[in-house]
Amino acid sequence: MTTIETRKEERHVTVLSDRCAGCQECVIRCPVNALSMDHGSWTVLADDDLCVGCRQCERTCPFSAIQVGGPMAVTDRLDPPLAHPVTLRGDISETREGYSSWSDVLKEASRCLECPDPTCVRGCPAHNDIPGFIGALRQQDLSGAHEILARTSVLPDVCSRVCNQSAQCEGACTWSLAGTEPVAIGRLERFIADQMMTPAPTVDPSGAARDLSVAIVGAGPAAVGAAWDLVEAGAAVTVFEKDDTVGGLCLWGMPEFTLPSSVAMRAWEQLETAGVEIRRNHAVDADEIEVLLREHDAVIAAHGAGVSVRLPVPGMDLEGVVDATLFLKGAKEALEPMGSAASFLHSLGLTDTRAQRVLVLGAGNTAMDVARMARRLGLDATCVDWLDERFALARPDELAEARHEGVDVLFQRTVVKVEGSGRVHEATLAHTTQASATHTPKVVPTASDTLRVDLVVMAMGYRVDASFASVLPGLPVRKVYSAMASRQWVASGVLANPASSYAHHSPVGHLALAREVGLNAAAMPVAPRLWVVGDALTGPSTVVEAMAQGRRAARAIMDAQPNSPSRSTQSRELQPRRILVCFESEGGSTADAAQRIGAQLREYGARVDVMALEKVGPMDLAHADAIVVGTWVEGLVVAKVHPAKATRQWLDALPWLGGRPVGVFCTYGVDPRGALAEMRKVLEAKGAQVGVERALGRRDLKNASSNFAQQFAESMMQTVLR
């Protein structure tokens, strides 16, 4: 438990007695047992002496009936110091270090409240059991901590180094949400990874994927997540990597001083030892995806988002303008012990002996990496970004480190022109203003500067390769949580105070909720037996997110047990089909029809879930081999008849169904008119194959002997098995 300061007398919990309904949402979540029930009034009693001021009760009370005043009883955060090279040039040693002693670890770990409903877990994209592994650390149980981490993460060594914890787990730490320094979760995870190598995958030849052959395109963190779970479950996994080394962005896109190559390669070495076949220098294009689908039971596209975003301003075609990928790959090789900085600089046309300036377009994490690499190559580096610094995309600590290393970071500037005679020589920077994080910056026409530059590196990010659009439609998925927030998330309080200064005013809860969109999308195949994960699915994101998506897809494959027709000669027990029957019912007739159809589908051996549309979650959709949608209809027969409004809204919000067989039915009073056709149109636009349609009138519904359910189920099974 946390170390408590002595200013208890200033801390006071007020229970608003008229508003407290005794629901105990605060009582069951209070980390320190400071809240209990007054059985007479059935309201909450607070013990000021036990309260540590974390304000979790304030965030979780549905009626805002509890208030906490006074200071928080937590010690100052203990961060290991940064290692700044004495001589920057050529130094690629890690700048961020882990804890060096157990005493420091235990001191920091003691700040964790072990919240009963830990918001940090929701903030972590992989949903690591953070209180669990910190609890194990307190017991000095490293293998226990690894075991807890291994449930959700196979890259603790990588994630602890490169994650932006302030917008994820640490931003969502209850202390951060309350307005003080969060527990150093990333550093504690790093300590676990530093002290003991992450255990290799344990292959279970009789696991859930024992008969599956899975191809994975790409060898980045998303591929690691997918391959790890699949190979552990006994699948034959083949990875196709276009480069001669695996690791993807973690290897070539991250500097050695941030993520050492040995750490980036650790997982791949373990996977290869465990039996994952890696085909290097094998680029897979859109056409070859079809080939892979024939040869394997499932294909996971994890090829990333590798196309650099280019700034459309005059002069970008001049010599001396390069993209970040080229610079980072070359600089990393140049800074290795056997590399040559001089020859790399020469290849970039930087032959002058005077101090030369690199202009880096962008001030995100990639831009910081480019600039810091440039500093280690002996160059001056200036980053420009049109965002306001308050809304900067880079990790705050990364930004601070870059500045400490002499990188000039200019916010509210944008390049409007690059000039030079043949080679870039000067850049014109316009000033910008940005009102809020959601507003696009505006250029101030009257204010501009010029900057002498010798090299321009475009580091404004990456986008998904459009050449895959024909086989991977509908991508990238936008990580926008448009539905009403999950009620469990609301109940946890992670969304209640989203703008803590310790999370750099990031709305951490809402960011985390939006990440769930990507995770859920990863479980949904975009076409039969084809899953997409990582940056290829959602556009550029983080290592931990990509890994978590990869694992989510692997689990979806294990559940779906897909079977390639060309491999069907193998003796494999076919899994029963899972069919989701969902309905929107007003008076109960549609629900009754859905139940009858569901019962008939079970007769055919299918595993059937019947539920109201409003209850259907993303994983219900992901798990379903086929879907049946039923609705009542509304409207005027003389004008137009539609599916019920709730059905239309539900259909509009559906994700890409990737060729999933779908049956639709509606119940009507007089005439369904075009209601079924309307449903079919929407579903087909979502990638569904609508194989069965049926309108059910009063005669069908009232007559117990009607065989509509049997007919529907028979047609549906034919569609599913086709």
Collapsing DSSP states into helix, strand and coil, what is residue 224?
Answer: helix
Alpha-carbon distance of 578 to 549, in angstroms, equals 22
DSSP letter at 527 equals B
Q: What is the DSSP string of 625-673?
A: SEEEEEEEEEE-TTS-EEE-HHHHHHHHT----TT-EEEEEEE-SS--T
Task: Please pick, from the candidates 52, 58, 59, 129, the single residue that binds another protein as defined by CB under 8 A.
Answer: 129
Residue list 622-651, contact with another protein (CB under 8 A): 623
Nearer to another protein, 62 or 473 (CB): 62
Q: Judged by CB under 8 A, which of 42, 71, 437, 466 binds another protein?
A: 42
Residue type, 296: H
# binding residues, another protein (CB under 8 A): 71
Query: Which parts of 501-560 interact with another protein (CB under 8 A)?
Result: 523, 552, 555, 558-559
What SS3 state is found at 319?
strand
Stretch that binds another protein, among 32-40, 178-186, 294-302, 500-508 (CB under 8 A): 32-40
Residue 122 within binding range of another protein, rule CB under 8 A: yes
Strand 607-612 versus strand 236-240 pairing type: unpaired
The whole-angstrom separation of Cα 5 and Cα 18 is 32
**Pick from 587, 699, 705, 722: which binds another protein (CB under 8 A)?**
587
614 touches another protein by CB under 8 A: yes
Rule CB under 8 A: choose which of 40, 81, 337, 445 binds another protein. Answer: 40
Distances from the Cα of 554 to the Cα of 124, 204, 345, 435, 523, angstroms: 19, 15, 43, 42, 8
Min CB(20)–another protein separation in Å: 9
What does the alpha-carbon distance between residue 299 and residue 276 come to, in Å, rounded to a whole number? 14
Question: Scanning residues 469 to 498, which ones bind another protein (CB under 8 A)?
Answer: 483-484, 487-488, 490-491
Residues between 415 and 444 with contacts to another protein, criterion CB under 8 A? none
Is residue 286 involved in binding another protein (CB under 8 A)? no
Reduced to 3 states (helix: H, G, I; strand: E, B; else coil), residue 182 is coil
The correct pick among 261, 448, 563, 595 for binding another protein (CB under 8 A) is: 595
Cα maximum dimension of the chain = 92
Q: Give the shortest CB-12-to-another protein separation in angstroms.
A: 10
**Closest by CA position to 176, among listed 23, 76, 54, 272:** 54
Helix (H) or strand (E) holding 417: strand 413-419
Of 5, 8, 23, 634, the one binding another protein by CB under 8 A: 23
Q: Which of 4, 5, 8, 24 binds another protein (CB under 8 A)?
A: 24
Which residue, 172 or 717, has its beta carbon nearer to another protein? 172
List the one residue from 2, 11, 27, 372 that touches another protein (CB under 8 A).
27
- With 0-12 / 13-18 / 19 or more C-beta atoms within 10 angstroms meaning exposed / middle / buried, residue 245 is middle
Confirm or reject binding of residue 352 to another protein (CB under 8 A).
Answer: no
| Smallest distance, another protein to C-beta of residue 126, A | 8
DSSP class of 197: P
Structure tokens at 200: 């290799």
Nearer to another protein, 131 or 539 (CB): 131
In this chain, which of 577, 578, 642, 686 binds another protein, going by CB under 8 A? 578
Pick from 1, 10, 14, 279 the residue near another protein by CB under 8 A.
14
Asked if 21 interacts with another protein (CB under 8 A), we say yes
Contact indicator for 618, 523 with CB cutoff of 8 Å: yes
Q: Which span (129-137, 245-253, 289-297, 433-441) binds another protein, by CB under 8 A?
A: 129-137
- Residue selected from 274, 416, 611, 695 as contacting another protein according to rule CB under 8 A: 611
| Nearer to another protein among residue 243 and residue 609 (C-beta) | 609
397 binds another protein (CB under 8 A): no
- Pick out residues in 203-262 that bind another protein (CB under 8 A): 208
Position of tokens 């149980």? 141
Binding mask 58-97 for another protein (x = CB under 8 A): ----xxxx-x------------------------------
Residue 9 interacting with another protein (CB under 8 A): no
Q: How far is the CB of 652 from another protein (least distance, A)?
A: 14
Tell me phi and psi for residue 501, to 5 degrees: -65, -25
C-alpha distance from residue 615 to each of 371, 556, 580, 596, 619 (Å): 49, 20, 12, 19, 11
CA distance 579 to 569: 25
